[in-house]
Copies of this chain bind each other. A is one copy, B any other.
Amino acid sequence: MTDSAKPTRKRDGRLREDLIDAGVALLRDRGADGMSLRECAAIAGVSHASPGYHFGNLKGLKTAIAARAFRLFGDFMLEFLAKADSAPKSQILAISEGYLAFAESHKELFLFMFSGQELDQTDPDLSAMSERAYQILRDTCAPFVKPDSDPETVEILVWSLVHGYAQLMITGKISKASPGGKVPAYKFLLDHLDLCPRG
């Protein structure tokens, strides 16, 4: 027997991923308001009520899309981390570069994730992927946390700066990029944070 209640019919569970793919594509092409269960169904080539079966409701599909987005988001940061040297400051810069690269190359997803959409915050996939992303930040900030200090302070400092920069960047409010592009501009900002690794 199969070892669990895994889907066994028709598309063998492939449809769920296809529907998320369709949702991501619609999000990219038409924005959050242009995505609908029925349009996703049409793109995936199934009937209009099929997404409802798999995701319960629109909120369910949006939650699945957000989970996928957070996974990709974490992947970006890990990828840049792996390419950087191990000095704490370099690592901070690396996750920031990953953060900004994701925001720029997946603008719609980035806005969607942080736009206060109605999502099912109890969904295990979504919470696992967003926890994972936050843990990457937490780990990278750890060397800067002073022994008897709250880790949250450093985390909020770094997160706020990079997130704010990303938001201003993708909404076009950062007009004049520094010579050398946006990452050098961000690095310049980062130098204004009072951060020093302990020990």
Contacts and interface: CB of A to CB of B under 8 A. Distances in A.
A27 B143 CA distance: 42
A116 B118 contact: no
A30 to B, nearest CB: 10
A124 B54 CA distance: 44
A118 B33 contact: yes
A161 B152 contact: no
Contact of A157 (B116, B163, B171, B192): B192
A167 interface: yes
A198 interface: no
A188 B153 CA distance: 8
A165 to B, nearest CB: 6
Contacts of A32: 116
State the number of copies, please. Answer: 2
A164 B150 CA distance: 18
Nearest to A108: B116
Contacts of A167: 114, 163
Interface residues of A, number: 36
A174 interface: yes
A56 interface: no
Contact of A189 (B118, B156, B176): B156
Contacts of A168: 156, 159-160
A160 B152 contact: no
A161 B157 contact: yes
Interface in A131-179: 150, 152-153, 156-157, 159-165, 167-168, 171, 174-176, 178
Interface of A: 31-33, 111-112, 114-118, 150, 152-153, 156-157, 159-165, 167-168, 171, 174-176, 178, 188-189, 191-195
Query: 7 closest A-B pairs (Cβ-Cβ)?
Result: A160-B164, A111-B116, A115-B115, A192-B194, A160-B161, A163-B164, A164-B164
